[in-house]
Amino acid sequence: MYCNKLPDKPDDRKKIWDKVDNMARANSLWVTAYGTGCGAIELRPLHTSRFDMERFGIAMRPTPRQADVLIISGYLAVKTLKRVIRVYEQIQDPKYILALGSCTINGGMYYDSYNTLNILDRYLPVDVYVNGCMPRPEAIIDGFSLLMSKIKAGKADGWKHYVDNLEYYRENQKKVIHNWDLPDYNW
Amino acid sequence: MIPLVISITFSALAALVWGLLLGGISRMVTARIHGRIGPRLTQNFIDVWKLFRKKSSIHHGTMFWLAPMFRIAGAIGVLVLVPLVVGNTVIVNMSFSGDLLLVVYFMFFGCLGMALGAGDSGHPYAVIAVSRGLAQMSSYELSFSAVILVLAAGLRTLSIEEIVMAQQDGILSWNLFRYPFATAAALITLLPMQMAYPFSIVLAPQEIPIGPPTEYSSRFLSFMLSGRAIFGVAKLVLFVNLFFGGASGWVSLLFKTFLLYMFPIFVSTVFPRFRTEQSIRFLWFVPTSLAAIDLLRVMI
C-alpha cells in the first residue's frame, strides 16, 4: 500500500506544550526491531536484566508504524538501504535515527567494499552516531541518553531536515540504488 | 441527563487513570520477576501522551478509524452497567434486570470492532490475529456463559446489582465460597480476556508481530491503549462484583481490583504461549467442566 503524496512541511512554530511533548518523547522511545548489520547482535543484551533498557522507557516495537527510533546497526548494504528507506518513511513523525558502529560513520572495515555505504548521513538523516566496532551495550545506552537529551532540548530534528531536503536525499539514494522502483514517498 | 454525563465521564476517566497505573505496576512487577529494574510507574501515561501527540498520516478506511472508538465505547458500556461501589448513589449506575447479558455483549462488541478495524488495515498479520482472536473469544465465551448460568440458576437473577446485594452477608456469602468451581472457571477465562499468557495468541509478539494493531500508529494506538486500560478495569470491577462481594468503598474497590489484576500478571510471567488449537481445547474443556460441576450442584 503506497502513498505518493509528499509529506507536509513540519510546523516550526513554538507551542507551549512543546516541552511536555519533548519530555514524553524522550522518555518513551520505541525502537523498530530491525537489524541491518552485525551490530544488531549488541542490541539483544539491552533487553536482558543486565542492561535493561526498559528502565529508560525504551521498548522494541515489531512494526515501524508504532516506532520512534530506527537503529542502523552497523554496515548498511545497498540492498538493505532500499528496505531501510521504506521502513524509515513508514515511521510516523517525529522519528529519529541512531547509527551504530564505525561503518555508518566512514565505512569502517568495509570502507572499500563494492556494496556497502560509507557515509550514512548522505542517505538518511542521522540524529546520533555511536562509534565503535561494535559498540558495547553500554555505549548504545550512552547513545540513547544523548538522543534523549537532544529530544528534550528540541534539537533532534533529523526528520524535519529529511522532509526539507528530500530532493538531496533522494538524489543520493538513487545514485546507489540502480533498480529504484519505490514511490516518491512511502508511508 | 447532566449528572449521567458527568458520572460516565468521571468513571471513564477514573478507570483510565487506574488502568494505566495498573499497567505500569504490571510492567514493574514483570520486570522484577525477570530480575530487571523495569520502567517507571508512570510509563504508560508517558507512552499514551507521546502517541497522542505523534503525527498520523495513514488511512486505511472507515472501520480502521472507528475501531479504537468501538473499543472505548465497549469498555465504557461495561463500566456504566457495573456498580462500582455497593450502595453508592453519586455515581449513576445504569443497572437493570438482565444487564449481565448486555455486559457480555459489550465485551464482545469492543473486540468485534477491533477485529473489523484490523481487517480493514489489510495487514496479513492483523488478519491472522483476528481469526485467532475470534476463535479464542468464542471458546472463552462458552465457559463464561456456563459461569453466568451457575450464577443465574443459583441466585435466580441476571441483574449484576442483585448478584452483588446477595453477597453482602459476610465473606462466606461471596460467590467465591458459594460457587468455588464456577469462580475458578471465571478466573481462567479472565486470562484470555486480559490477553495474558498462556492465552496470548492474539497479540503474540514474537510470532505475528503484534497482531491486530500492526498498522495502528499514533493517535489510533493511543486511543487503543486507553480503551484497553478502561476495558481492563471494567472487567476487573465486573469480576469483583460477580464473585468477590462487590466493593463496600473506594479503597476496597482499588484493593480488590489490584489483587485481581495481579493474578494474570503472575500467571503470565511463568507460562509460555499455547498454540491456537491448544488454547481452544483447554478453554472448552477445563473451565467449562469446572462451571458444570457447580451448575450440577445448583440444579440438584
> B46 and chain A: CB distance < 8 Å anywhere?
yes
Alpha carbon distance B16, B278 (integer Å): 33
pLDDT over 90 at B96, yes or no: no
Instruction: For residue A187, list chain B residues with Cβ-Cβ distance below 8 A.
Output: 57-58
> How far apart are the C-alpha atoms of A137 and A41, rounded to whole Å?
10
Confidence of residue A148 (pLDDT cuts 50, 70, 90): very high
CATH number at residue A37: 3.40.50.12280
Per-chain mean pLDDT for chain B:
87
**CB nearest to B46's CB, from A24, A52, A63:** A24
Check pLDDT > 60 for residue B27.
yes
Whether residue A121 is contained in a domain is answered as: yes
The span from the CA of A144 to the CA of A140, in Å, is 6
Q: Do B256 and B244 meet the contact criterion of CB atoms below 8 Å apart?
A: yes
pLDDT at B46: 94
> For residue B236, what pLDDT is reported?
93
Alpha helix ranges (H) inside chain B: 2-34, 43-52, 62-81, 99-121, 124-155, 160-165, 175-178, 180-193, 218-243, 250-270, 276-299
- Which one, of B262, B229, B296, lies nearest residue B26 by Cα? B262
Encode A36-63: b = buried (16+ Cβ within 10 Å), e = exposed.
bbebbebbebbbeeebbbbbbbbbbbbb
Q: Say if the ipTM goes beyond 0.95.
A: no
With contacts defined as CB-CB under 8 Å, which chain B residues touch A21? 49-50, 53
| Cβ B174 vs Cβ B243: under 8 Å | yes
| C-alpha distance across the termini of chain A, in Å | 9
Confidence category of residue B256, pLDDT binned at 50, 70, 90: very high
Of A165, A114, A152, A156, which is closest to residue A20 (Cα–Cα)? A152
pLDDT at A117 over 70: yes
pLDDT of B118-172, one tens digit each? 888 878 888 888 888 888 888 998 999 999 999 999 888 888 888 888 888 888 8
pLDDT at residue B213 greater than cutoff 90: no
Here the cell at position B273 is: 504461549
Mean pLDDT along residues A128-157? 92
The pLDDT assigned to B249 comes to 85
Q: How far apart are CA B179 and CA B82, in angstroms?
A: 20
Cβ distance A62 to B40 less than 8 Å, yes or no, reads no
Q: Which domain holds residue A168?
A: 18-176
Q: What is the mean pLDDT of residues B48-69?
A: 86
- pLDDT at residue number B201: 80
Place of cell 458444570: B292
Mean pLDDT calculated for residue range A40-65: 89
Please indicate if any CB of chain B lies within 8 Å of the CB of A28. yes
pLDDT (0 to 100) of residue B124: 84
**How many structural domains compose chain A?**
1
pLDDT at position A183 is: 76
pLDDT at B91: 67
Contact status of A49 with chain B (Cβ, < 8 Å): yes
Q: What is the pTM of this model?
A: 0.90
Query: Which of B213 and A83 is assigned the larger pLDDT?
Result: A83
Question: How many C-beta neighbours within 10 Å does residue B125 have?
Answer: 21
pLDDT at residue number A2: 54
Among A22-26, A79-83, B86-90, B281-285, where is mean pLDDT lowest? B86-90
**Residues of B whose CB is below 8 A from A18:** none
Q: Say which of B43, B46, B215 has its CB closest to residue A65.
A: B215
Cβ atoms within 10 Å of B36's Cβ, excluding its own: 19
The pLDDT confidence band at residue B43, using thresholds 50, 70 and 90, is very high
Predicted confidence (pLDDT) per residue in B67-92, tens digit: 888 888 888 888 888 888 887 766 66
Identify whether B195 is preceded by a cis peptide bond (ω within 30 of 0). no
Specify the pLDDT at position B49. 94
- What does the pLDDT read at residue B188? 94
Reading the block at residue B68, the C-alpha cell is 479504537
Instruction: Work out the percent of chain B whose per-residue pLDDT is above 70.
Output: 98
Q: How confident is the model at residue A4 (pLDDT cuts 50, 70, 90)?
A: low
Q: Is A94–B216 a contact, with Cβ atoms under 8 angstroms apart?
A: no
CB contact under 8 A, B210 and A25: no
Q: Is residue A63 part of a domain?
A: yes
Q: For A92-108, how does the pLDDT look when each residue is reduced to its tens digit (9 = 90+)?
A: 888 999 999 888 898 88
